[in-house]
Amino acid sequence: MFNIPLAHSESGSREILNVCQQIMKRLGSEITSESLELFLKNVLSQKRPSLERLTFISMGRITDPTPEFFSSLVNQVDTVEILSDNSGYEIFYNSYLSGRSIFQEETHHSINDPGLITASVVRLLKQSGEIADTSSAIIYRNPEDNPVLAETITGALNQPFYLFFERALYNQSILRLENAAKKCFVPNQETLNDWREQHIVTAEIGKSSDLEVLLKEIVEIEEKCIEPIGDNKLQEDIDHRVLIVSYFSLPTTLVSTQRLSYWHKSLEEIAAAAGVALEVIWLSATTNAETFPRNRVVKDRGNFLVSSMARNKLAKAINVGVPSLGMSWSDYVKEETKKWDESFDTVVISVGPFGYLELGAYFKELWESQIIYDFRDPYGGDPRMIFTKEQRAWIDQHEEENVDNGDVVVSVNQQCLEVIAPNVNIHRAIVNNGFNETVINDATNLQARDSENSEEFSPLEKIRFVYCGTIFRNLGIDEFLNALSPNRHNLVHFGRDQTNSQVLKEHEGTEQRGFLSDKSLLAYEMLKCDAGILRLGGESTTGTTKVFDYIGCDLDIIIITDGKVESGAVHDLTKDLEGVFWVKNNSSEINKFLASYIPTRNKRKDRNNFSRRSQASTLLNLILQPQMNSEG
């Protein structure tokens, strides 16, 4: 395209860059000379990104020239500006082809409806070519201004999209959006700190007017890698195929994905050790899961694009006011999996959210699969949830009807199992989370090596407590913190603090280390401690994954409860273990406990029964059960 010798272009282009930057500054852009230089290099380079079309969608006017810049790099660039006022929405559309503006249109909507506005946007974008036929990406600015509209538009366009937030707002629509996005960006560190408090995907700092940020993403976009599915693709030497279905998957930061991630990684290996060739595929709505092997993704495209059959059910659920997350996704999964030219022998449907429970009946009919429902939390029987009578009736019916279509129900403790569809006659089993033995063994070895290498050994004088995970809004630990003596005690917290505790921030004996995504590092730090803190509200069904981590790291377990001591699911789990201490959550009880507490610092003999491997073996037995029955 440019026949300019590189040597010439450098000096000439520098002058152009300076002029460009001056012009940009006058227009109010914050563009840097480094970004401009990088951009120009890309434009002059022979290599072009494989992306054919880039669409900028903005809730508000686009005042920077970023789209125009990218029109020199990407074949087609569209801008869709959506402005709202009291009388409705104004949509301004612009299309650039090879750097020239070829189409402009504006339209006005007086009806404030996300579905209609999306239809309008789709129609406008269609004017200059079908999006589905090209390799496209969407840059969406300020989705938090109208997240329902954002998820409807991105769902309708069904192309990879990048979200650029100004604020770290959080609600169900934004949760769905970020789960389906390729990446999320926030403008600065402060917003990123707010983001980390509640959101389930990690975000980066970046602005959509930053050429460098966009260039990096465009260059990295690749065709979605889909596992080839065809007649000759079913592997003949696989004995049993398992599909794990859950709404969220890695790389979201939800604790719930850890359980499934372990099964996904280890079941094949555990089965191989027992002489069974197992294949485990994980299906979810988390877009970035498709970068991991043996993962499939079906995006949740929002509530406005479901089939007419699903529409009624969804409308009823929304009308009644029950949690509906996952219901629309259920419809999209059915639409997509119908086209798969393969089948699965067992489908493990892991719920919470509960909107896709009906996939059990669907897969049973489609593939005659064994259906295992994994309830990580109770549904209708969850004592923490407050429902109206009408809502409870709807939820109980929903739970019962769908569990009735399953073959096995698994959950994390007996209390949960008992409250899940109690009137349905179905095989029930406990499959706990367990501690990740690989991670903890690695951390233990590392710690042992570090201890050998250190020249001096200084025994810890202070008692070190650790709290892993989120301190929930209604389950603060301030009473415990206030009772700590800085001379004798130390507490380190890894995770989010929803209570925003000033005591935790300011106490001399406490450390806040934030969210640690590296599990090995977390285990390493835990191994330095004496006791792990568990905080309970008193409900019998509540279990918690961190108790296994504490057991794995041979820590004492201190359970601070608002309810009755030595009761509920946690007591059932730990009652035969040494080094477990129950304390009522009031200052006198806590003070009394701390005055006499001495860490046991012992390895428990039944420790390995609490490992994930041990628990996953239980699941494997359930999976292979029909097969073993047919063979035996």
What type of residue is 510? T
Q: Least distance to other proteins from the beta carbon of 50, Å?
A: 24
Q: How many residues comprise the chain?
A: 632
In contact, 167 and 191? CB cutoff 8 Å: yes
* For other proteins, the closer CB: 118 or 470: 118
Does the footprint of other proteins cover residue 86 (CB under 8 A)?
yes
378, 367, 475: which is closest to 419 by C-alpha? 378
Q: Please say whether the beta carbons of 198 and 249 come within 8 A.
A: no
Q: Is 382 exposed, middle or buried (0-12, 13-18, 19+ CB in 10 A)?
A: buried
Asked whether 200 and 285 are in contact (CB, 8 A), the reply is: no
Stretch that binds other proteins, among 12-20, 152-160, 284-292, 572-580 (CB under 8 A): 152-160
Question: Is residue 297 at the binding interface for other proteins, with CB under 8 A as the rule?
Answer: no
Least distance to other proteins from the beta carbon of 508, Å? 37
Question: Minimum CB separation from other proteins for residue 136, in Å?
Answer: 14
Q: Considering the rule CB under 8 A, would residue 629 count as an interface residue with other proteins?
A: no
Q: Residue 505, interface with other proteins (CB under 8 A)? A: no
118 is a site residue for other proteins (CB under 8 A): yes
* Span interacting with other proteins, options 150-158, 413-421, 446-454, 609-617, rule CB under 8 A: 150-158
Q: What's the Cα-to-Cα distance from 270 to each of 7, 604, 611, rounded to whole Å?
A: 61, 24, 13
Residue 113 sits in the site that holds other proteins (CB under 8 A) = yes
Distance, in Å, from the CA atom of 155 to the CA atom of 167, rounded to the nearest integer, reads: 22
150 versus 620: smaller Cβ distance to other proteins: 150
Selected from 14, 41, 48, 126, the binder of other proteins by CB under 8 A is 126
Q: Is 313 in the site for other proteins (CB under 8 A)?
A: no
Q: Is 122 a binder of other proteins (CB under 8 A)?
A: yes
| Number of helices and strands in the chain (H, E) | 22, 21
Whole-angstrom distance, CA of residue 295 vs CA of residue 286: 10
> What is the nearest approach in angstroms of other proteins to the Cβ of residue 338?
16
- Tell me the closest approach of the beta carbon of residue 122 to other proteins, in angstroms: 6
Residues 63, 79: Cα–Cα separation, whole Å? 11
Q: Tell me how far, at minimum, the Cβ of 89 lies from other proteins, in Å.
A: 14
77 contributes a contact to other proteins by CB under 8 A: no
Should residue 315 be labelled a site residue for other proteins when binding is judged by CB under 8 A? yes
Question: Of the listed pieces 108-116, 166-174, 276-284, 519-527, which binds other proteins according to CB under 8 A?
Answer: 108-116
Report the distance separating Cα 484 and Cα 310, nearest Å.
Answer: 54
The distance of closest approach from Cβ of residue 496 to other proteins in the complex, given in angstroms and rounded to an integer, is 26
Phi then psi for residue 430, to 5 deg, are: -90, 125
Q: How crowded is the C-beta side of 81, counted as CA atoms within 13 Å?
A: 14
CB of residue 116 vs other proteins: minimum separation in angstroms?
Answer: 5
Pure H helices in 412-542: 414-419, 437-453, 478-483, 502-506, 519-527
Q: Which is closer to other proteins, CB of 164 or CB of 332?
A: 332
Is residue 309 near other proteins by the rule CB under 8 A? no
Q: Considering beta carbons, is residue 27 or 318 the nearer one to other proteins?
A: 318
**Could you tell me the two tokens for 399?**
């739970």
Q: Which of 119, 281, 320, 521 binds other proteins (CB under 8 A)?
A: 119
# binding residues, other proteins (CB under 8 A): 19
The DSSP secondary-structure symbol of 544 reads -
Q: Comparing C-alpha atoms, which of 228, 267, 229, 237 is closest to residue 343?
A: 229
Quote the tokens at residue 631: 């063979």
DSSP 440-455: HHHHHHHHHHHHHH-S
Q: In this structure, are residues 164 and 203 in contact, taking their beta carbons and an 8 Å threshold?
A: no
**83 is an interface residue for other proteins by CB under 8 A:** no
In the complex, the smallest distance separating the C-beta of residue 225 from other proteins, rounded to whole angstroms, is 24
Round to whole Å and give the CA distance between 467 and 460.
18
Does position 306 interact with other proteins (CB under 8 A)? The reply is: yes
Binding string, 154-193, against other proteins, x = CB under 8 A? --x-x-----------------------------------
Q: Which one, of 552, 264, 537, 573, lies nearest residue 412 by Cα?
A: 573
Tokens describing residue 310: 């699903």
| Shortest CB 132 distance to other proteins, Å | 9
> What residues pair up with 489 in beta bridges, in sequence order?
463
Give kind and range of the element (H or E) at residue 20.
Answer: helix 6-26
Binding mask 541-580 for other proteins (x = CB under 8 A): ----------------------------------------
Which range, of 123-131, 404-412, 547-555, 562-570, touches other proteins by CB under 8 A? 123-131
478 burial class (0-12, 13-18, 19+ CB within 10 angstroms)? middle
Residues 250-289, mask of contacts with other proteins (x by CB under 8 A): ----------------------------------------
Q: Which is nearer to other proteins, 68 or 166 (CB)?
A: 166
**Segment interacting with other proteins (CB under 8 A) among 114-122, 486-494, 518-526, 557-565:** 114-122
Beta carbon nearer to other proteins, 14 or 123:
123
- The residues of the shown chain that bind other proteins, judged by CB under 8 A, are 86, 113, 115-116, 118-119, 122-123, 126, 130, 152, 156, 158, 304-306, 308, 311, 315
